[in-house]
Amino acid sequence: MAAAPVVLILGAGPRIGASVAQKFASVGYKVGVVSRKGTDIKSAEGLLSLTADFSKPDSIPALFEAVKAEFHTSPSVVIYNAAALTPPPVKDSLFSIPAESVASDLNINTVSPYVAAQQAVIGWETLPKETKKTFIYTGNIMNVSVVPVPMMLDLAMGKSASASWIGLADTLSTDKGFRFFYADERYEDGKIKGMALDGAAHAEFYAQLATHENVPWNATFVKGKGYVQFKSG
């Protein structure tokens, strides 16, 4: 009997992260979740909870080592769901955000997910060729549209930068059976969901992406419909 596949979810909040973990567990995956409040133990349900500070990219490799040690295989699905922003200290003043805060937030929004993708690929090379290997990044509209709110500076910079390398990685890796997705939930009219993101909708869509459905890397989706292509941001 083949070993159960493993999913690693970095950024296991109560909405998207929790819903995605539940969904993958329900379809037979062993699940590792990572958050600042992780317990570093495996629950009675078999869910491995790990602790990490995503502002420190060098902490990411140890998470993959811990998952492999616990489940005896590398994760075939890696989901990056963490994000950060710093409000401007001077209201509505874009450039009042300290450079140190910008750098720390970019670590969380861009550098740590990049390191996670590096580690994912290293692990994928050890998995059977027929196994579908998938990296999913929880994005938003900011890679294609300017949201004119100073508070969104760090988040927008990070999402845009990550979309760039995710698109490149997916384009260059499809012949290896690897997929990289920038997942972006929208309203039906294509507008940004903002704080109205739906955890269950993400869970359903991410489970579909893990099967390598015919969806492009810039995976815009709508609750109840799945992938929907929008003409512009």
Closest to 147 (Cα-Cα) out of 137, 160, 164? 160
Kindly state the average pLDDT of the residues 15-25.
94
pLDDT for the residue 3: 80
pLDDT for the residue 67: 96
Q: How far is CA 22 from the centre of its chain?
A: 16
Catalytic residue among 56, 159, 193, 231: 159
42 is catalytic: no
What is the pTM for the complete model shown?
0.96
Average pLDDT, the chain: 93
- Angstrom distance (rounded) from CA 137 to CA 166: 8
- Cα-based torsion angle of the residue sequence 108, 111, 116, 120 in order, rounded to the nearest 10 degrees: 150
Q: What is the CATH number of domain 6-227?
A: 3.40.50.720
pLDDT in tens, 153-187: 999 999 999 999 999 999 999 889 999 999 999 99
Q: Is 68 exposed, middle or buried (0-12, 13-18, 19+ CB in 10 A)?
A: middle
pLDDT of 81 strictly over 70 = yes
Kindly state the average pLDDT of the residues 207-222.
95
pLDDT band at 92 (very low <50, low <70, confident <90, very high): confident
Lowest pLDDT segment from 36-45, 136-145, 175-184: 36-45
User: Is residue 133 within 8 Å of residue 75, measured between CB atoms?
Assistant: no
Domain borders along the chain are: 6-227
pLDDT in tens, 94-118: 999 999 999 999 999 999 999 999 9
